[in-house]
Amino acid sequence: MSLPNERDGSVKNTAAYSKTLQQAAWLEQLISFGVVGLQLIGLAILLDYLLFFGTRVDLRLQWLVVGLLVITVRASQVWVLVLVFQVILFSRFGGPRMELRPGEFFYCFAALLLVFYASRMPLLRIPSTKRFSRWVAEQITGSPSELSSSASLSHLLGLFERVFSFIGALLYCFVVLTIAAFVLTVLPFTPNSWRQWLELSMGEGGVLWPGPTLCVAALGLWLIVRELAWRQMTKQQAGLYLRSSFLREYYSDLRMMVRRRLKLDRKRKPGKKVPKKGGEVVG
Amino acid sequence: MTNRSRFLILLGLAGLFAGIVRGQASLSLFSLSVFLWILFDWIQFQAVVRFQLPHVKFTRTVNGNANSSGTLWVGRRVHVDVRAETKWKLACPVLLRDVVPENLELCTAVNVAGAESRTELLQGQEPNGPSESSKISRVVRWLGLSVGKSASPWGANELLQLAPSREIEFSYVARVRGAGKVVLPGIRVVLEDRRGFFRQVKFIPVEQSFRALPDYFQSAETRPTVKRHNSLPSHGIHRLQRSGTGAELLELREYVPGDPPKSIAWKASARRENLMTRQYESEVPVRVRFFVDGGTSSRLGGFGKRLLDQMNFVAASVAKAATSIGDPVSGTLIDETEVKQLSWFNGDFGLLQFLSALAEFTARPLSTEALLSPSMIRAAQAICFERYPELLDRRYHSLPFTIFSSTRDRIQLAAVLAEVSNLTPREQVECTIDDRQLATQLQRFLFDSGLPWLGQPGEFVSSGSRDDSDKRPVEITQALSDSLSAAIARARDNEVFVLFVEPTMVVNRLERLLPVIKLAIAKHHRVAVVCPTSTFLRPSKQSLRSASKQVEDLLWVGEQARMRDLLEQLQRSLVRLGASVTFSGERSAIRLVLAEMDMARDGKRSVTGGRA
């Protein structure tokens, strides 16, 4: 696929130019298919390992389950994946008295990373795949419009950006998992933490630790958050809230007044005579 | 919080509980991680919503004009650019929609410019990508490879910004449908985090209000400028042969002492050996007066499809033709509430004033009450959802308990109406109980939001008692008759009166109009009656043939036949008097009125104009 001769402005070369662009577009689509296919294969392998490693499940059943999960991941139905992992963890990993082993920690890390990947909005996956595929297609076909050095640089930067965002996602998962592990060790779910809490409570004179501190901190936090939320209200929202509060108190009274007025209006229609108390009709 | 995140939190908490109860550390860890992950995402999202979103500044330019008001023309394209600038990059994907009123018809998305080269934008139709067959494109889209042209769920006035950016810009082209008012209220912003767990909808007011002037047909024909006759309207018929101060020579006569020396024709005097004076023609205008029926029946329908839009088009085109050669135009605009008399307009500036008066008249709300209907409520709810999403937040509006969802929706709608229209609490409660009050408020709300009322004629009642709805059409006809007779009394020379009336209304009250039209013609004025009809109702030979033997087609043919009879009856009555009638609101009506103007000018119909 050679470049059209730019000095020759004949129709033939214009046709060749558009043909080159069309080829580049189809090649880009093909490469996109390839990239997505590789992603799906990697996903399937990881899922198969996480779900069926060490089990004797039939291979066809494994492929079926993995296939269904890949479809749900692609369709961004992340709750299915979370449920499946919870069921696996529930049935396979059970240690006495909440002791976490390193293997389980890395299993949870891999599972969380998969959930993280699956939860990303489908639309956000398109641009990066398209960018990469387009860049590769342009390199192969040599489409003239994209051969400038700044375009190549931007694509390279895009590639680095993807790598950094992947590393960032790994770190994020790791940090979340670590914080969760820390919280689990601090909260009284293991024998060590029970003992620790009991000692601290006895030290405080029998008051259940960290009860008072936690209550005060929670109350303070709640007040701050509520105050900030109130101050974020728009003028119309504030007006609506006032109306709503007023009506909550006086709705029944106002409804009674309105209904009575409507009843009187219906009686006072033109041509209709309203009878007086003494039986005399007044026009 | 979306249902997605709610479900995940539920799963996380359930897993955490099960893990703690069963003593399973890994299950507890995984479930707690999911919960914490969503919590951190929430904190991030709230930071964007509370601290970044309020600092986003929107500017909109319409045809290069960023002012809060201006003028647009019906049928012409409007180029709109929307720009959003922020100090920090918005970290979440955001969907921007420039809320467009019903009177603007979207054409295309123009460009997808972004400030940064790596910005990924999806607006309206995606420009790249080869064309694909429908099945393949569906598979391709499901795999997440592209969002093809046919699959883009966003309109031309929407933009989905995926990558963080400090500046976002998009443009689109629209077309004004009908005369009146066009208000661009603001931008609807939907912010969602990258995982679809949280969503925030906000409406940012960026109001721009425009006056939409009716379009006119510019004829390539030159209009004749010679008037042969000028009849006085009273005391019989006589020809006016009066000299004046025009530019054209009328005749030569003998010199009389007192004639100005510059008017002496020296050459002719030398030839005749007698002093001769030049007499010039007097220049008189052909005045055109319009009578426009702007009642409820003329205003029903979508923008650009109403009978009033056809009337505006014809009136504007005739006014343009008249003012371009110095003939003044005036008008009487009639609806159920008032009869507005316009002064005489002349020249280009006068034409603009006349068109502005027409636009203002067209922009007036319907004066008749509408009956409450489910479609009215749905339309109002759609507008509330689009323009007042913050007011639909249940945190700020507690509803009284009720098991009926329709009642709950009605109470919520009444609350939003009350806040937007500044109603008292009693009026708010009336809206929840009284259908009539709610219908009145909704009608006003829909009008202010730029929606035409698309209700059926049977859904209207008179502004007075419901029993005297028969009086409504008579009042307009009576006002028309009174205005016409007043115009005849004030007319100075033979004028052209153009009546724009809704045909089904006038045919029932013809006895009120015929005497006045007869009087006008007797006084040597020209009368043209323009009865615009919807194109599908205009009687033709084909319209009386049924396409099939289905009940709907037969009913349709019956309706066509009935309409045809009515219009023929009207035509017969008016043509017998000497008035011209047309049932079109398009070029044929313009030609008819211009022909009447030619008749007023020289007593002869001229197809093409030109200086004689």
pLDDT the model gives residue A142: 62
Q: Where are the alpha helices (DSSP H) in B278-334?
A: 296-299, 307-323
B330-334, B406-410, B548-552, range with the lowest pLDDT: B548-552
Residue A99 touches chain B, beta carbons under 8 Å? yes
Chain A residue nearest residue B14, CA to CA: A86
All residues of chain A having their beta carbon less than 8 Å from the beta carbon of residue B414 are none
Residue B42 reports pLDDT greater than 50: yes
Residue A254 touches chain B, beta carbons under 8 Å? yes
pLDDT the model gives residue B471: 46
| C-alpha–C-alpha distance, residues B158 and B172, integer Å | 9
The closest CB to that of A120, out of B4, B195, B418, belongs to B195
Q: Residue B226 has which token pair?
A: 């010679």
All residues of chain A having their beta carbon less than 8 Å from the beta carbon of residue B149 are none
Residue A150 reports pLDDT greater than 60: no
- B468: exposed, middle or buried (C-beta count within 10 Å: 0-12, 13-18, 19+)? exposed
All residues of chain A having their beta carbon less than 8 Å from the beta carbon of residue B196 are 76, 119, 121
Quick check: A257 and B426 CB within 8 A? yes
Quick check: B32 and A183 CB within 8 A? yes
DSSP of A200-254:
HHHHTTS--TTHHHHHHHHHHHHHHHHHHHHHT--HHHHHHHHHHHHHHHHHHHH
Quick check: A123 and B93 CB within 8 A? yes
pLDDT the model gives residue B473: 47
Q: How confident is the model at residue B63 (pLDDT cuts 50, 70, 90)?
A: very high
Q: How confident is the model at residue B133 (pLDDT cuts 50, 70, 90)?
A: very low
Chain B residue nearest residue A30, CA to CA: B145
Distance of CA A181 to the CA centre of its chain: 22
pLDDT the model gives residue A280: 41
Residue A2 reports pLDDT greater than 50: no
- The C-alpha of B155 sits at a distance from chain A's nearest C-alpha, in angstroms, of 17
- Identify the three-state secondary structure at position B122: strand
| Sequence-separated (6 or more) residues with CB below 8 Å from residue B355 | B213, B214, B216, B316, B319
Which of A77, A107, A224, A240 has the highest number of chain B CBs within 10 A, making it the mutation to test binding with B?
A: A240
Residue A70 touches chain B, beta carbons under 8 Å? no
Quick check: B391 and A33 CB within 8 A? no
Quick check: B390 and A234 CB within 8 A? yes
- The C-alpha of B54 sits at a distance from chain A's nearest C-alpha, in angstroms, of 10
pTM of the model: 0.76
Chain B residue nearest residue A26, CA to CA: B130
Candidate ranges A19-28, B130-139, B256-265; pick with highest mean pLDDT = B256-265
- What does the pLDDT look like over B257-307, one tens digit per residue? 887 788 888 888 888 888 888 876 656 678 899 999 988 888 887 888 888
- The C-alpha of A236 sits at a distance from chain B's nearest C-alpha, in angstroms, of 7
Residue B453 reports pLDDT greater than 60: yes
| C-alpha–C-alpha distance, residues B49 and A116, integer Å | 22
Quick check: A127 and B20 CB within 8 A? no
